[in-house]
């Protein structure tokens, strides 16, 4: 587990710094824009995220899948052609995008932003989409070369630049600065990723051919079309949920949902980053070796749960105090939504260890089926949750959707490789889930006043256990490395 610890440590350190930096910009934006303006800001971010997912054609992931082996072998010619093909495909997609946004700006404004008065913003977001796709391509190359240190540094620099641009725009122009903030943020992200790509990825001259670039673009497109279709019904649904919330609730409801999602994603962001930038490349490298994949899945699952469970319980304990500090007292409805989302995160991170294995190992059709079912579960659970429980149903629906998704990916993966959970992993997951549910229901019992204290005690217990296990693994590996090899 040495490489796993190292990558996770680097990326977690980067994420911790990024979270601290983003707290400043989040606080300023929430105070200046209030829930209605913050909701509009969140809608624009969701529009760019969904648009870049579609326009990006899965190139970031395709670059890892197609280029990880060539990068590991030092095949600069293959990587140069892959790089040229990615930019060729990006340019072609950009040429198609801008006219599309101009022609359909009215329906997109109504559907994505809630009214017809935002047509100009929709067109301007075309620039943000192009830069966002460029960021994904550049980071995809860093990931294919497994430049973990560069990606960790990029995360910090990107957060600093993006937050600075957003704060300046909003403080200068208030609500009128929201569009420049989103557009300027994507430009800043592109510049940061461009710098780290130039600094850390080997460059080759004279090895790129037009034929090779076109062939690489075709290979990326062949992977990207089914992958994008899968992402559109899976990840795309989650990215587009603020737009769904807009029509189910209101713009203020979008603000509360975005606020809860920002914390839910941010506090364990290093795990998401480690999975995509370390775990997935390693899975892709052994995708034809079932036993090696099973070992990696169990190792990653164990590490994820050991790290996530204590942090989730600590966050549950602090949520009532955290939301007013990070945002403002106006965002009080965020608290209940976030509490349910935190419980759902146990299923989310557990399921992602398996969904990445499906992506690396299985055919695009199988992954598409997985994401279709997951996206349908998210939409249905969100709709039913809001209808039955109101605004808090957004959090309940999140929990229900990821419980269903967990069952789906586990069933599909078991049909492909013998990746049954170990007894220790299963028990730890169940105990962590029971502890999180206990903390959530305590306010409805006579022990309501002890909620935070109980949550912190549980978090301390899980944290001490996790620290003991991880330290034991570290010492065991050190002993194995020092053990002399006996030659008979």
Residue 343, pLDDT > 90, answer yes
Tell me: pLDDT of 391 over 50. Answer: yes
Residues 136/60, Cβ–Cβ less than 8 Å: yes
pLDDT confidence of residue 398: 92
> CA triplet 314, 273, 16: central angle to 5 degrees?
45
Burial class (CB in 10 A: 0-12, 13-18, 19+), 305: buried
Residue 353, burial from CB neighbour count under 10 angstroms (0-12, 13-18, 19+): buried
pLDDT in tens, 71-84: 877 788 888 888 88
Summarize pLDDT for 165-197 with one digit per residue, the tens. Answer: 999 999 999 889 999 999 999 999 999 999 998
Lowest-pLDDT choice from 215-224, 228-237, 343-352: 228-237
Label residue 488 by pLDDT band (50, 70, 90).
Answer: very low
Domain boundaries, the chain: 1-7+32-240, 286-479
Categorize the per-residue pLDDT at 12 as very low, low, confident or very high, splitting at 50, 70 and 90. Answer: low
- H/E run at residue 2: helix 2-55
User: What is the spatial distance between Cα 423 and Cα 446, in angstroms, rounded to a whole number?
Assistant: 35
The fraction of the chain above a pLDDT of 70, given in percent, is: 89
Secondary structure letter of residue 332 according to DSSP: T
Query: What is the pLDDT at residue 105?
Result: 93
Task: Answer with the residue of higher pLDDT: 480 or 468.
Answer: 468
Q: How confident is the model at residue 485 (pLDDT cuts 50, 70, 90)?
A: very low
pLDDT at 362: 81
Give tens-digit pLDDT for 17-66: 666 677 778 888 888 888 888 889 988 988 998 888 888 888 888 888 78
Q: Does residue 475 have a pLDDT over 80?
A: no
Q: How far apart are CA 403 and CA 116, in angstroms?
A: 37
What is the pLDDT confidence band of residue 399, given thresholds at 50, 70 and 90? very high
- 239 has pLDDT over 90: no
Q: What is the pLDDT of residue 330?
A: 85
Mean pLDDT is lowest, of 325-334, 392-401, 470-479, for 470-479
431: confidence class by pLDDT, cuts 50, 70, 90:
very high
Helix, strand and coil in the chain, % to nearest 5: 90, 0, 10
H or E segment at 85?
A: helix 76-103
pLDDT on residue 188: 94
3-class state of residue 379 by DSSP: helix
Here the contacts of 418-424 (C-beta below 8 Å, separation 24 or greater) are 418/290, 418/294, 419/293, 419/294, 419/297, 419/298, 419/354, 419/357, 421/298, 421/301, 422/298, 422/302, 424/302
Helix (H, G, I), strand (E, B) or coil at 421: coil
Contacts (Cβ under 8 Å, ≥6 apart) of 436: 312, 313, 316, 342, 343, 346
pLDDT at 349 > cutoff 60: yes
How far is Cα 385 from Cα 381, in angstroms, rounded to an integer? 6
8 Å CB contact between 133 and 115? no
- Evaluate if residue 133 carries a pLDDT over 90: yes
Residues near 348 by Cβ (< 8 Å), separated by ≥ 6?
402, 405
CA dihedral of residues 160, 165, 167, 170 (deg, nearest 10): -160
Residue 244: name the closest of 343, 375, 342, 126 by CA. 375
Q: What is the pLDDT of residue 122?
A: 93
Structure tokens at 149: 């240190």
Instruction: Identify the pLDDT of residue 6.
Output: 56
Highest mean pLDDT among 222-226, 356-360, 381-385: 381-385
63, 286, 330 from 85: Cα distances, Å = 10, 25, 48
């Amino acid at each position: 587990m040495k490489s796993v610890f190292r990558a996770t440590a680097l990326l977690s350190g980067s994420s911790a710094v990024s979270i601290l930096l983003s707290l400043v910009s989040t606080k300023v934006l929430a105070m200046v824009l209030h829930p209605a303006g913050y909701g509009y800001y969140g809608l624009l971010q969701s529009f760019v995220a969904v648009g870049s997912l579609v326009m990006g054609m899965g190139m970031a992931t395709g670059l890892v899948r197609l280029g990880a082996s060539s990068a590991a072998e030092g095949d600069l010619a293959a990587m140069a052609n892959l790089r040229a093909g990615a930019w060729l495909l990006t340019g072609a997609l950009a040429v198609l995008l801008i006219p599309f946004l101009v022609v359909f700006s009215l329906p997109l404004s109504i559907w994505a932003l809630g009214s017809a008065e935002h047509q100009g913003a929709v067109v301007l977001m075309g620039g943000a989409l192009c830069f966002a796709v460029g960021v994904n391509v550049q980071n995809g190359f860093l990931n294919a070369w497994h430049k973990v240190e560069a990606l960790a540094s990029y995360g910090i620099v990107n957060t600093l630049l993006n937050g600075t641009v957003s704060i300046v725009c909003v403080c200068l122009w208030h609500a009128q600065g929201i569009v420049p903030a989103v557009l300027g943020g994507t430009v800043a992200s592109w510049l940061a990723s461009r710098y780290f790509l130039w600094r850390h990825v080997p460059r080759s001259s004279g090895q790129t051919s037009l034929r090779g670039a076109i062939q690489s673009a075709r290979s990326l497109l062949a992977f990207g079309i089914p992958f994008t279709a899968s992402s559109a019904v899976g990840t795309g649904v989650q990215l587009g949920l603020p737009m769904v919330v807009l029509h189910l609730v209101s713009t203020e409801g979008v603000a509360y949902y975005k606020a809860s999602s920002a914390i839910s994603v941010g506090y364990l962001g290093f795990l998401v980053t480690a999975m995509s930038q370390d775990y997935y490349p390693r899975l892709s490298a052994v995708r034809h070796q079932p036993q090696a994949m099973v070992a990696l899945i169990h190792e990653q699952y164990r590490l994820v749960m050991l790290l996530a469970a204590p942090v989730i319980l600590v966050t549950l304990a602090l949520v009532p105090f955290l939301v007013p500090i990070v945002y403002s007292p106006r965002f009080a409805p965020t608290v209940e939504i976030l509490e349910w989302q935190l419980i759902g995160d146990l299923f989310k991170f557990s399921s992602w260890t398996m969904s990445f294995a499906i992506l690396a190992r299985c055919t695009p059709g199988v992954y598409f089926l997985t994401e279709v079912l997951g996206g349908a579960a998210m939409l249905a659970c969100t709709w039913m949750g809001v209808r039955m429980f109101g605004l808090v149903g957004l959090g309940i629906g999140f929990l229900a959707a990821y419980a269903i998704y967990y069952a789906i990916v586990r069933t599909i993966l078991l049909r492909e490789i013998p990746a049954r959970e170990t007894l220790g992993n299963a028990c730890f997951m169940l105990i962590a889930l029971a502890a999180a549910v206990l903390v959530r229901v305590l306010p409805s019992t006579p022990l309501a006043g002890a909620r935070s204290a109980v949550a912190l005690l549980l978090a301390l217990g899980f944290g001490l256990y996790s620290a003991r296990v991880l330290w034991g693994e570290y010492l065991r590996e050190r002993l194995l490395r020092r053990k002399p090899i006996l030659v008979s």
